[in-house]
Chains A and B, each alone.
Chain A
Amino acid sequence: MLAEFLQYLFTGITIGATYALIALGFTLIYNASHVINFAQGEFLMIGGMATVSLTSMGVPMILAVVLAVILAGILGIALQRFAIAPAKQADVVTLIIITIGASIFIRGIAQVVWGKEYHVMQNFSTDQPIEVFGAVLNSQSLWVLGIGAILVVGLVLFFTKTLIGKAILATSMNKEAARLVGIRTQMVLMLAFMVSALLGSVAGIVVAPITFTSYDIGIILGLKGFVAAAIGGLGSGVGAVVGGLSLGIVEAMAAGYISSDYKDAVAFSMILLVLFFMPRGLFGAKVVERV
């Protein structure tokens, strides 16, 4: 009985941690620009696919990971510089639509370069699962959780302790005022996209051994990550983590105890409930927008 419960919990936490990492990427860009970047899933895909293709070319794993993350970072900057920045006066909805277009474009390129097959990545450490009270845990889940935790702490520190982090926050609160106090808002936006791309690609790399990776993996995971971010309250780092984990756990419990057919239905009902009673999500800012 306990083993069963633990098994569902582990499954949920592993999937949830994946969602949380993706949700964090959404949060970051939303914080800086109020744009929901639907190309976030594509950063994830670039991270996983680039690592797989580099390692298959004989590049050592560590170097491949670094190169893949750098590639994603450059892509993030390029996305901001060549797609978002030229439309700077456009309103947020237009910018969101641009990110959707960009995601389709990136996916198309990836399909041409890497083909349409699914690819495998080896577990970082052992393939042997870990047994806890009769339930089993994939060793890669620990990597996802660990790296997720490090990224969350790093992000919190980045936003509260560093000048650049504070500059990003200031830009999101009031772009004009931030410019007046000497923040180069264009640079800040570019930076936010870059950090978000780095985050996404790292997430893509650590989850690839569990989910496999392919040119279109970003659609599915990106959407789930967005849902997690919305539950937690867009713009809240803690919210992204809580939203991701709870989405994952609810899905796994529903699949285990109720029926796998209703798994997604249960998860989406939860979103409806949360958003119905707390429209800004669990940890969303409680501000009222001035009209």
Chain B
Amino acid sequence: MFKTVIRRAGKCAAVAAAGLMMMSAQAAEPIKIGSFLSVTGPASFLGDPELKTLEMYVEKINEEGGVLGRQLELIHYDDVGNASSARNFASRLIRSDQVDIIVGGSTTGATMAAVPLIEQAQVPFISLAGAVVITDPVKKWVFKTPQTDRMAAERILTDMKDRGITKFGLISGTGGFGSSGRTQTLEVAEQMGMEVVADVTYSGSDTDMTAQLTNIRNTSGVEAVLNFGFGQGPAIVTRNYAQLGMELPFYQSHGVASDSFLELAGSSADGLRLPASPLLVPDSLPDSDPQKEVVQNYKAEYEARWDSKVSTFGAYAYDGLMLAVRAMEEAGSTDPEAVRNALESIQGYVGVTGVFNMSPEDHNGLDPESFRILEVQNGEWKLIN
């Protein structure tokens, strides 16, 4: 009895294998798109929408006939927000999966851990993480889609200057995002001739920032306050700010540009400004805005497919995938060198995050104006410029 089962199973396997071989002979090899993302773990709010976006658009592109007449195959791993597993998965993508291009790296830590391997293996890589170090200095094989924190700082400080503000207080989180943002803000302020008169921090686990804000309030000459931080901290800062009755113009960073921040901060958020992706205000964009259609489509398609709110982080993955597809189409092949060159010369690609103009000196391709300055009014985002 047992023997016959084994024999039958063997026959089945042989038939299946033969079938598979015939199929693969018929269709061209799929183009392999590799990805390592923080789908679970502390950075899952980044990786989860990113993976959903990649899955959804790979499906969509395949239904529409694929790229260069070949289907796309998405190979993805979950690095759980851990830089060393990100490195391991990057190595697996390169060595055993032999992918044609990598779109991934939810966090700066994960991205930077994988960069040396990728540079060595010479595979085009589009990162979805924020910090400026990823593309500055330029690395031959590494590109990225989100704006840098430096651009956010530039955008905020320009807006302050337009309102006649030259001295401001800075309160930042001590986490990676906050401290990198703090460094960039200090540098940009110096370049723009502005003065950071108070500079305080809070740690990610703090539950009350009243003391730090009181410190800023009592510093003479403060004309505005900027909070660079991530997670629930900025929402607490916003609430404390309102409780203290501080009337100075208040700025947040792009790190909290999401609807859940509005929910947490409630009415305290009224009047604050921040730089954000146009994805938060798709319908208030003027019709002349080239991004309007792209942004509206992405939002509609994502929300229809996943039945959950669209996030700016997913949009980074959208832009990453579309840039990869466009580069392969322009290169006419998946040859790594050709794809890399095509990526580097992409001009005027209109994405959800902004309009990308890549160059050998700029592997990000965005400018600070791709951020829109939004103001919270009556619990809703309002486009300022």
Count A-B contacts at CB 8 Å. 76
Residue from the set A10, A210, A212 with the largest chain B CB neighbour count within 10 Å:
A212
Determine whether B148 belongs to the interface, using a CB cutoff of 8 Å to chain A: no
Q: Are A118 and B214 in contact (CB under 8 A)?
A: no
Residue from the set A7, A14, A117 with the largest chain B CB neighbour count within 10 Å:
A7
Contact partner, B260, options A117, A136, A207, A210, Cβ 8 Å: A117
Q: Are A220 and B212 in contact (CB under 8 A)?
A: no
> Across the interface, which residues of B come within 8 angstroms of A14, CB to CB?
208
Residue of A nearest to B231 (CB): A118
CA distance A4 to B218 in the complex (A): 8
> Across the interface, which residues of B come within 8 angstroms of A261, CB to CB?
174, 201
Min CB distance A14 to B, Å, is 6
**Known: A211-B236, A212-B235, A212-B236. Is A127-B207 also a contact (CB below 8 A)?**
no
**Known: A116-B44, A211-B236, A261-B201. Is A138-B243 also a contact (CB below 8 A)?**
yes
Determine whether B10 belongs to the interface, using a CB cutoff of 8 Å to chain A: no
**Known: A117-B260, A118-B235, A260-B200. Is A11-B205 also a contact (CB below 8 A)?**
no
Min CB distance A289 to B, Å, is 34
Determine whether A275 belongs to the interface, using a CB cutoff of 8 Å to chain B: no
**Known: A15-B207, A136-B245, A138-B243. Is A212-B45 also a contact (CB below 8 A)?**
no
Determine whether B203 belongs to the interface, using a CB cutoff of 8 Å to chain A: yes
Q: Are A136 and B218 in contact (CB under 8 A)?
A: no
CA distance A239 to B242 in the complex (A): 34
> Across the interface, which residues of B come within 8 angstroms of A117, CB to CB?
260
> Across the interface, which residues of A come within 8 angstroms of B260, CB to CB?
117-118
> Across the interface, which residues of A come within 8 angstroms of B267, CB to CB?
127
> B341-380: which have CB < 8 Å to A?
none
> Across the interface, which residues of B come within 8 angstroms of A220, CB to CB?
205, 207
CA distance A207 to B203 in the complex (A): 19
> B156-215: which have CB < 8 Å to A?
174, 200-203, 205, 207-208, 210-212, 214-215
Contact partner, A211, options B44, B207, B212, Cβ 8 Å: B207
CA distance A11 to B240 in the complex (A): 10
Residue of B nearest to A216 (CB): B42
Determine whether B264 belongs to the interface, using a CB cutoff of 8 Å to chain A: yes
**Known: A129-B243, A211-B236, A214-B232. Is A118-B211 also a contact (CB below 8 A)?**
no
Q: Are B211 and A11 in contact (CB under 8 A)?
A: yes
Bitwise interface map of A from 2 to 28 toward B, beta carbon under 8 Å scored 1, else 0: 001001101110110010000000000
> Across the interface, which residues of A come within 8 angstroms of B231, CB to CB?
118
> B265-309: which have CB < 8 Å to A?
266-267
> Across the interface, which residues of A come within 8 angstroms of B244, CB to CB?
7, 129, 136
Number of interface residues of A (CB under 8 A): 33
Residue of A nearest to B174 (CB): A261
Residue of B nearest to A122 (CB): B266
> Across the interface, which residues of A come within 8 angstroms of B207, CB to CB?
15, 18, 207, 210-211, 220-221
Bitwise interface map of B from 213 to 257 toward A, beta carbon under 8 Å scored 1, else 0: 011001000000000000110011000000111000000000000
> A187-214: which have CB < 8 Å to B?
207, 210-212, 214
Q: Are A260 and B214 in contact (CB under 8 A)?
A: no
CA distance A260 to B169 in the complex (A): 14
Residue from the set B210, B212, B244 with the largest chain A CB neighbour count within 10 Å:
B210
Q: Are B263 and A120 in contact (CB under 8 A)?
A: yes
Min CB distance B180 to A, Å, is 16
CA distance A7 to B218 in the complex (A): 12
Residue from the set A12, A252, A260 with the largest chain B CB neighbour count within 10 Å:
A260
Q: Are A11 and B243 in contact (CB under 8 A)?
A: no
Residue of B nearest to A118 (CB): B232
Q: Are A260 and B212 in contact (CB under 8 A)?
A: yes
CA distance A10 to B208 in the complex (A): 11
Min CB distance B227 to A, Å, is 13
CA distance A14 to B239 in the complex (A): 15
Q: Are B211 and A255 in contact (CB under 8 A)?
A: yes
Min CB distance B362 to A, Å, is 34
Q: Are A260 and B232 in contact (CB under 8 A)?
A: no
Min CB distance B47 to A, Å, is 12
> Across the interface, which residues of A come within 8 angstroms of B211, CB to CB?
7-8, 11-12, 252-253, 255-256, 260
CA distance A13 to B353 in the complex (A): 44
Min CB distance B341 to A, Å, is 40
Min CB distance A55 to B, Å, is 14
Min CB distance B153 to A, Å, is 20
CA distance A127 to B218 in the complex (A): 24
> A133-152: which have CB < 8 Å to B?
136, 138
> Across the interface, which residues of A come within 8 angstroms of B264, CB to CB?
118, 120, 212
CA distance A259 to B199 in the complex (A): 9
Q: Are B232 and A212 in contact (CB under 8 A)?
A: yes
> B88-141: which have CB < 8 Å to A?
none
> Across the interface, which residues of A come within 8 angstroms of B215, CB to CB?
255-256, 260
CA distance A214 to B264 in the complex (A): 11
Min CB distance B234 to A, Å, is 11
Residue from the set B200, B214, B260, B266 with the largest chain A CB neighbour count within 10 Å:
B214
Q: Are A255 and B212 in contact (CB under 8 A)?
A: yes
> Across the interface, which residues of B come within 8 angstroms of A252, CB to CB?
208, 210-211
Using a CB–CB cutoff of 8 Å, the interface residues on chain A facing chain B are 4, 7-8, 10-12, 14-15, 18, 116-118, 120, 127, 129, 136, 138, 207, 210-212, 214, 220-221, 252-253, 255-256, 259-261, 263-264
A-B contact pairs, 30 of them (CB 8 A): A7-B214, A10-B210, A11-B208, A11-B210, A11-B211, A15-B207, A18-B207, A118-B231, A118-B232, A118-B260, A120-B266, A129-B244, A136-B210, A136-B243, A136-B244, A211-B207, A212-B235, A212-B236, A212-B264, A220-B207, A252-B208, A252-B211, A255-B200, A255-B202, A256-B214, A259-B200, A260-B212, A261-B201, A263-B203, A264-B203
Using a CB–CB cutoff of 8 Å, the interface residues on chain B facing chain A are 44-45, 174, 200-203, 205, 207-208, 210-212, 214-215, 218, 231-232, 235-236, 243-245, 260, 263-264, 266-267
Top 5 A-B pairs, shortest CB-CB distance: A211-B207, A220-B205, A255-B211, A256-B211, A11-B210
